[in-house]
Structure 1
Amino acid sequence: MPNDALHPAWLICLGVGSAAALAALLIRLSLPLLRRYALARPNARSSHTTPTPQGAGIAVVAATLLVAGGLIWLQAPAALATLLPVFAAALLLAAIGAIDDIAPLSVTPRLIAQAVAVAAMVWALPDGLRIAPFLPEWLERAGLLVGTLWFVNLVNFMDGLDWITVAEVVPVTGALAALGLIGTLSWPDAVLAAALGGACLGFAPVNRPVARVFLGDVGSLPIGLLLAWCLIELAAQSWAAALLLPLYYLMDATLTLLRRLAKREAVWQSHRSHFYQRATTNKFTVMQVVSEVFVLNLGLAALAIGAALSHSPIIEAGLLALGVAAVAVVLTRFSRPRR
């Protein structure tokens, strides 16, 4: 950063506050249009029982990109150039999500568009970035493409309950911003994470159970992509930290997919078999579910910061194992009827 630039701590604070305010304003302005054109009607996957507008994610994404892009450009225009392909990929996913929110798309064109966006994001990664140096670079990048495509979709799958995305994204982005302050993550990525977390805070009041508006695919898909970018950058420094931060989403969505595949179910169809959805069937209230997820994610964030600071593969592995055990406890609770 230039010598006269703001300290990253100030940039992060500005990112959170500005994105929260801008997202809240944009949501308020867009609500009449969303009520008219983007009503989410209850289906087999839904946790709501009445038609509710969706698509507030467009305000979250717009606030994130505008605030993060503006702050990064003001401090170091060259740093923004690296992120422009990522921003373009996020906007492509937002456009596909918006179309899908209004008139559902079939699986094939949706996946093709997602793959194009993810490929653009992977292409934008720094040339020297390596997570698994024991693999050929082309194979590692192919793995990142497939993994990011899955991550983008699992964030979308997990966005099926009021406040659950807020309970996930706010602790994750908070930890990413903290890691930026201690130098584990680059300051532009930390500012991007801070703006994303702030925008989700701006969305939180209207998504509080019972929600007045949902994110929609227009929000969940690009949020998944932006998180994936930051986590891949973090993984180059600490693979355990990058796994710990989204571990609840990773385990819930992946175990659910494997269970459905084992039962030979059509995995592309709507369902209510995620652990957080089963929890509401098992007499957990929505607030109980999202509260447990939020507290769990705070714990995972603490473990991730500890792993990043340790610089010890043994300690990182131990903290990751502890995180897996904590998530397993919560998933087990969600899968059993509550007394």
Structure 2
Amino acid sequence: MTEADFFPSAAVVGVSAALSAALIFVLRPLLVRHLMAHPNERSSHVQATPEGAGLGVMVAILAVCGALLVWKLVPEPNLIPILLGAAALTILGGLDDAWPLPIAWRLLAQGVVALGIVLTLPPDFRVLPAVLPAGAERALLVFGVVCFVNVVNFLDGLDWMTVAQVVPMALGVAILWWLDVVPPGIGLLALVLLGAMLGFAVFNKHPASIFLGDSGSLPIGLILAYMLIWVAEAHFVSALLLALYTIADSALTFVRRLRNGEKVTAAHRIHYYQRAIANGFQVPEVTTRVFLLCGWLAILAIVAALAASPTADAAALALGIAGVAFVLSSFARGR
């Protein structure tokens, strides 16, 4: 990365962060009056707190990306489809924050958006050409996008929890761009997302003065899924490593609930990060561990992409799985 690359990148992050923070600051009094999250038996907070900061985060992302597109500063791939999809999920999430929507409606809308995103990928775009035919791969990508949107939403249940995952993930994607692994458009999108989340982090630091809400977690999950698809096209193991903690916590919790005969669509508080709180960890201790783990996974993803060898892939995956296992087991054991 050259000095000429660094300063425009830093400016994108700074503008996105400042705009996100300013919008959340302006929106917060309105959200206090109309969109309060009250504690219940499934909550991790103890006092009523406004939610919906995702509206500010997403408007900042859409505005900065829109300005870059107008000024023709965003190279390939075309970001318009993902931005339109993110805008649609921002509206869906905002409606769900205000008036909880049926799960079927949410999944249908997410599926339509995911299908639209996948259909706009280049015709020759392939992630696993040696494993799956093109049609099956596209169908799997749609399913994977919907799943990832929801797992990001599921793990947005603690102050700074989403920040702790998204910041290392977005920074990792940006570094992969600087190393010419992913296209410039994906790298710029990662920088804009990184900045917007840093702006939000100021308000979400424990004890949070505002929550992200579905208006933020759903479209952020979509943007992350889209970036990970492009990382996977370049180096599949790197994409898997970047998302490993987020996938593991949700997938293992889902399997455990299924095995116990629970209704998996019902809200709960038994994700590993939630169990950590019940088992004696403080909120900052949990999010610090998640942040460090996701940072470690990002480093492994970058090393694996640079090495580009089966041996490096296997070693990076082993180290990543070991890190995730260590953190999840510590959450399950508690103090």
**Residue type at the aligned position of 1:89:** G
Q: Per-residue displacement from partner, 1:75-121 (whole Å, max 9, x unpaired)?
A: 446747x2111111111111110000001011111111111111111
Within-5 A mapping of 1:46-57: 46-57=43-54
CA distance in 1, matches of 2:129, 2:47: 50
Q: Per-residue displacement from partner, 1:115-157 (whole Å, max 9, x unpaired)?
A: 1111111112222211110211010000000011000000000
CA 1:8–1:141 in 2, change beyond 3 Å: closer, same or farther?
farther
**Residue type at the aligned position of 1:158:** L
**Residue type at the aligned position of 1:102:** A
> Which SS does the other structure have where 1:335 is aligned?
helix
CA contact (8 A) 1:72 1:191 kept: no
CA distance in 2, matches of 1:44, 1:129: 45
> What residue number does 1:131 align with?
127
1:107 and 2:95 correspond: no
Q: Per-residue displacement from partner, 1:37-84 (whole Å, max 9, x unpaired)?
A: 11111233310011110000111111112112322442446747x211
> What residue number does 1:3 align with?
none
CA contact (8 A) 2:237 2:304 kept: yes
CA contact (8 A) 2:75 2:185 kept: no
Percent of counterpart pairs with the same letter?
46
CA contact (8 A) 1:172 1:297 kept: yes
**Residue type at the aligned position of 1:108:** A
CA distance in 2, matches of 1:64, 1:150: 22
1:118 and 2:114 correspond: yes
What do you get for the CA RMSD once the two structures are aligned? 1.4
Residue in structure 2 matching 1:15, options 12, 17, 21: 12
CA 1:261–1:183 in 2, change beyond 3 Å: closer, same or farther?
same
1:36 and 2:33 correspond: yes
Deviation at 1:314, TM superposition (A): 2.4
Aligned residues: 332
CA distance in 1, matches of 2:299, 2:88: 33
- Unaligned stretches of 5+ in structure 2? none
> What residue number does 1:212 align with?
209
Provide the TM-score with structure 2 as the length reference.
0.96
CA contact (8 A) 2:76 2:183 kept: no
> What residue number does 1:225 align with?
222
Q: Per-residue displacement from partner, 1:264-323 (whole Å, max 9, x unpaired)?
A: 111111100000000000100000000111111111111010011011122112201210
- Unaligned stretches of 5+ in structure 1? 1-5
CA contact (8 A) 1:12 1:195 kept: no
Deviation at 1:32, TM superposition (A): 1.1
CA distance in 1, matches of 2:308, 2:67: 33
> What residue number does 2:292 align with?
295
**Residue type at the aligned position of 1:173:** A
**Residue type at the aligned position of 1:321:** A
CA contact (8 A) 1:83 1:124 kept: no
Within-5 A mapping of 1:1-339: 8-76=5-73, 79=76, 82-134=78-130, 135-338=132-335
CA contact (8 A) 2:148 2:221 kept: yes
Provide the TM-score with structure 1 as the length reference.
0.95
CA distance in 1, matches of 2:247, 2:50: 27
| Off by >6 Å, runs of 4+ in structure 1 | none
**Residue type at the aligned position of 1:126:** P
CA distance in 2, matches of 1:10, 1:125: 30
CA 1:179–1:73 in 2, change beyond 3 Å: closer, same or farther?
farther
**Residue type at the aligned position of 1:249:** T
CA 1:78–1:324 in 2, change beyond 3 Å: closer, same or farther?
closer
CA distance in 2, matches of 1:46, 1:238: 38
CA distance in 1, matches of 2:20, 2:160: 16
Say which is worse superposed, 82-91 or 154-163, in terms of deviation: 82-91
**Residue type at the aligned position of 1:203:** F
CA contact (8 A) 1:240 1:320 kept: yes
> Which SS does the other structure have where 2:71 is aligned?
helix
CA contact (8 A) 1:53 1:213 kept: yes
